[in-house]
Structure 1
Amino acid sequence: MYRFLRHNVQSMDDKVREFARAVEEEDDTVAHGGSVKAPKVLADIVESVAAAIYIDVDFDLKRLWVIFRGLLEPIVGPEELQQQPQPITMLFEVCQKQGKKLEIRQGKKGSTNIASVYVDGEFVASCSSEHKEIAKLNAARRSLSQLAQSKPIKCGMIEIDGFDGPFEIEGAKQKLHELCDKKKWPKPIYRKGESGPPHNKKFACTVQIATSDGVYTMEGETRSRVKDAENCAASLMCRALHQYNYL
């Protein structure tokens, strides 16, 4: 709809293009702010169109929703918010449960806002943005990732009801996803690494989950297929979660 807006402000076009590119580069719907804050003009357009339709349908909310819903897709609802908890809130909860002191320091360098995260007085991560809240959100996200990498779970071979037998758990990725959904944790995040020549590539995956007690990462062994590498990492995580009484 923005392209139909009549104006002569070049900087506004630049900001909208920057925001559109940032959204296109996102892997999934971001519930709590992306890398670029949406220009206010876009919200103004949406509100204006919604108001015009609302008046046109004689203030009938049901008819408004039928007509207008498509323009709002993708919609972030309760399920998406459960899968993507607010990063700053999660970071505070993780530190509180671990008895650690969290401090988010904010400053500016010219027109750029900088947010830096410190845990027990030690620097963890920082991010910058033109917008103060975006810098703070991204610093919290990066800190959660850093804390997960610095504190991996390790577990040995154990036998679990329903998981007995071979080390690899069949359908472990799906089982882990179902567990996170049941516990109302964010969905697992998988990251892939590659090695070897093009004709004989090997893959190793890490899986990260955020529980009520902290963010944990498990690295699987190398496999010839990405699917198998993900299942290996998920198998390790399932066994670790059982060992730590999450299952």
Structure 2
Amino acid sequence: MSNRVEAITMDIVEAVRDVLRKHEVTFGEYRAGVGHMIKTQEAKELPLLIDVFLNSTIVEIENRNRKGSHAAIQGPYFREGAPHVEETLAIRDEDKDQPRMVLRGSVTDLNGRPVAGAVIDVWHSTPEGRYSGVHGDIPLEFYRGKITTDKDGRYEVRSIMPVPYQIPNQGPTGALLETYMNGHSWRPAHVHYWVHAEGYRDLISQAYFEGGKYIEDDCCNGGGKEFVVSEDYEDDLRVMKVDFKLDPAVAAAQAAE
């Protein structure tokens, strides 16, 4: 492991050095960059900054070894301990008049055989773009839960629609994206999934809404068109049909060797 750490570390350092040489970075620019990193650390945003730029690359690498459904970024708002639910994720009373959706689909193996008893963690934002158990005083049990596939590998649960939201943008990460890079700090509306099943490789994924804002320029490079679900309705319910095809666990072990 130490040899691998050394090799990766030195390759990162040399890659950075190459960029500095390519752009002939001045001493003043270098010190300004170091100062920005210090501000990022002081604001406790270093994990946020790294995830914004690098999480999607790790997912890209991991997907090279997947034969089933591709993974997407996890994001920082997953929380352990979400309740098991059957029909509906818990919704605050003040949000019950919001547009509704139904999440449904199936979990199968690589040959299309249903995976019964798979547990799927789902979570998504509130109508204000916040997350339960993370922001303010929203209890953990709202807008997230664990659903279990039936004997045919199918799942279904209802909730309200999430919204696009800005990642924390009042600190140095937001300044880098919006001021220094002339970009933005918005993520498209999305639903998170984490599929667990005995004997299979875990799958972390997301689903985006066709026609939604920021899908093409997600500030976190979330995944793109592959994860966009076509617009479909049943009465007033937005249908988010997402099927998952799982790789066997043994394949994951071999890929890691």
Between Structure 1 and Structure 2, the one with more helix by share is 1
Q: Which structure: larger Rg?
A: 1
TM-score by length of 1: 0.27
TM-score by length of 2: 0.26
Greater relative CO (CA pairs within 8 A, separation 6+): 2
